[in-house]
Amino acid sequence: MKLLVVVCVLAVASTEMVMKGYPKPMTYICNFSDDLCGFHSNITKLEWTAVSDKDGRYLKTEAKGDLDKSAVAISRCYSVTNHYLCLAFRYSITGSSDNKMTIQQKGGDKSQVWSSATSSLNKGWIEEKIAVSLLPLQRKTQFVFTAFLGGKPGNSVSIDDVTLIPSTC
Ligand SMILES: *[C@@H]1O[C@H](CO)[C@@H](O)[C@H](O)[C@H]1NC(C)=O
Ligand SMILES: *[C@@H]1O[C@H](CO)[C@@H](O)[C@H](O)[C@H]1NC(C)=O
């Protein structure tokens, strides 16, 4: 927890703190084509990988054995100015019915947890938008993407086009 806060502060300091006063509302887009846009793990190794196929380049995690119960990917730390944000992304979930993904805002309202529906399983890419609201005076946010793979080989979760928009959805 402490380490992540430090990482968050450093990332912001190096890229965005150079702007004086209130930065302009900004849209952050990540399609994983060039890099992971700061997506990282809270353990040593990120259990998601950027893969390329006919669907382009995206971030994926897959259970290879029964120890692969869950995989966490934490977004970069976003500097924000608007109180209401929209987190848009595409995702694909394959495998058994207990496989799902949750997204939680780190440090924000802990009760805001999005969870993929069972009906999204094996349906290919699905577009989703999540309304995000911040705490008063909150100027940074970060999202935790967790894949609950259940240790069943074949279960996979993929995400792409992760976009944080400075407005309501
Ligand atoms: C991915 O985003 C980069 C800029 O971040 C853009 O140049 C590129 O065209 C995008 N690729 C796709 C497939 O959308
Ligand atoms: C990583 O984050 C997830 C989700 O917040 C948490 O369940 C897990 O315990 C964390 N792992 C470590 C090693 O901190």
Ligand nearest the Cα atom of residue 72: 2
Closest atom of ligand 1 relative to the 31 alpha carbon:
1
CA of 33, closest atom in ligand 1: 1
Handedness of CA 132, 136, 138, 142 (dihedral sign): negative
Mean pLDDT for the chain overall: 87
pLDDT for 15 beyond 70: no
Task: State the distance from the centre of ligand 2 to the C-alpha of 18, rounded, in angstroms.
Answer: 31
- Predicted local confidence at residue 25, as pLDDT: 83
Give the tens place of pLDDT for each residue, 56-113: 999 999 999 999 999 999 999 999 988 899 999 999 999 999 999 999 998 766 778 9
Per-residue pLDDT of 64-78, as tens digits, reads: 999 999 999 999 999
What is the CA(1)–ligand 2 centre distance, in A?
9
CA distance 161 to 132: 17
SS3 at position 7: helix
Give me the domains of the chain, ranges plus CATH numbers.
2-165 (2.60.120.200)
- What pLDDT is stored for residue 125 in this prediction? 97
pLDDT recorded at residue 23: 62
Rg of the chain's alpha carbons, rounded to an integer?
Answer: 16
Ligand (nearest to CA of 43): 2
